[in-house]
Every structure is written in C-alpha cells, then in structure tokens.
Chains A and B, each alone.
Chain A
Amino acid sequence: MITIQHDDVDIGKLITDAKQRGMGAIVVFDGIVRDDDIREMELEAYQEVALKELEQIAADATKKYNLFSVDIIHRIGRLKVSENILIIIVGAGHRKEAYEGSRYIIETIKAGVPIWKKELRKDGDRWVPGEHPQGTGKFN
C-alpha cells in the first residue's frame, strides 16, 4: 500500500499482510510527531505528485535492494504529539536489504517529495524548514 491520507493505519495488520513466503525480515519505520513544545502539527502535500513520487521511490527501492514488499503511508492534516506521520514497512529476504531499503526510502522522501509540515506552537506557527534547501530529489 502506497498512500497519502488523513487517517491512521493499523501497523500490526500491515505487518501481517506484508508477510510472504521467502521473507526473512520486516523493518518498520514509524515517524511520529515529536513534542518540540508544539500543540499540533499540520501536514500539507502536493498530493497527486507526491503519491507518484512515493510509488517511484518504492519501485526503485524494490529493484535496488531486492525487496519483497514495500508499504508507505504518509499522513496529512492535523496531527497531535506522538501520532504517526509516516509509516514505512519493508519486507526482504534478509535484514540487510530490509534495513537498507527502509533507509533509502525515508531519506529519498525527505530529499524531494512535495510534503510540508507546519508546527502549531504555543508562541505562533512555524513552517518546518526542509533539510534539502533546493529539493535535491530528482524524479523527473
């Protein structure tokens, strides 16, 4: 499942559904809202483009790391502290590919997928600055 959505997901079910014959490892990345003295976090996406890019990242990771399965769920909308933002579930034959595939996916998402976060703070709102100033992720 590759999706951008408001609702949370059942990570346990995703793990169960991901399991398949020959798989030896599943790595779960769960990015959550950190309590940086904020009330909530608001996430916005250029949804049509971001979804295509997530699909491309999953396809690239599958090929590069010989993955059995990839699930990416990126949430948007208003989220409270500790809520899930991004869930990546990667299944592979062995832990090495699973870890490396997961790392590749999260870093590539952060580098270029058009999604933004705004911290709703007690002392005013603030857009979170991107880690990659010129959006270095090239997908097109």
Chain B
Amino acid sequence: MRHHEEENEEETMKVKVRFFAQFGELLGTDIIVEPASGTVLSGLIKEIAQRNKDGYNAIFDEKDTFREFVILMRNGKRVDTIDAVTTNVVDDDEIAVFPPVAGG
C-alpha cells in the first residue's frame, strides 16, 4: 500500500522547465515534465536536453557538466550550476535555463 502511495506521489509531481533565447529555439520554450521523486535539477535538465543534440551541446560540455555561462533559476531565483547536482526538484517548481542576458 505504501509503495502504491509513493507511486501516486511520483505520478502527480509536475515541473515546468523553460528554456530561453537560443536554448529555447533548440529545445522548446515551456516543457512540462513529471519527474520521479528525488530527481535533481541537473539530471532533469540533462534528460530534457538529450532530446536535441545541438541543444544538449549548447548547455553541457564534453564532460556532461554545465557550460560556465549557463544560468539556472528555480522559481525565479538563481541557482549556481554547481548546486544543481544536489538540488532536488519538487512539485510545481518552475525551472529556467538560459544563456547570458543581453537586454537594454
């Protein structure tokens, strides 16, 4: 029964991942995913980015780590890419992934 409940929790978790600028062109702009409980930020982004080779290579280097210019946000707050490997995503999170800004 407990196992069943856990499964239900996993099924209901929804996270929105938003890619901007060139990342959005390569990977899509607003992606809704249902990650398993315990999924970390970096793993989630990697999984989505693998849908498009150019998109993946734009964000990750040959060692599968974030390129140094990549900026991450979780619910509107910046997250250091180093911390993305230990940051769990939770239900209703909005994750943003983007290159250096160029407004103004």
Contacts and interface: CB of A to CB of B under 8 A. Distances in A.
A52 interface: yes
Say which size band chain B's interface belongs to: 20 to 34
A130 B100 contact: yes
B77 A130 contact: no
Interface in B33-92: 68-69, 71, 73, 76-78
10 contacts: A43-B103, A46-B96, A110-B104, A113-B103, A116-B20, A127-B99, A132-B100, A132-B101, A133-B68, A134-B68
A81 interface: no
A98 B42 CA distance: 43
A127 B101 contact: no
Interface residues of A, number: 36
Contacts, number: 88
A111 B71 CA distance: 13
Interface of A: 31, 43-46, 48-50, 52, 74, 85-86, 106, 109-118, 127-135, 137-140
Contacts of A112: 101
Contacts of A132: 100-101
Contacts of B102: 110, 115-117, 127-131
Contacts of B71: 114, 134-135
Contacts of A74: 103-104
B101 A85 contact: no
A120 to B, nearest CB: 13
A110 B100 CA distance: 10
A130 B70 CA distance: 12
A132 B98 CA distance: 13
Contact of B103 (A117, A138, A139, A140): A117
Given A46-B20, A49-B76, A140-B76, A109 B104 contact: yes
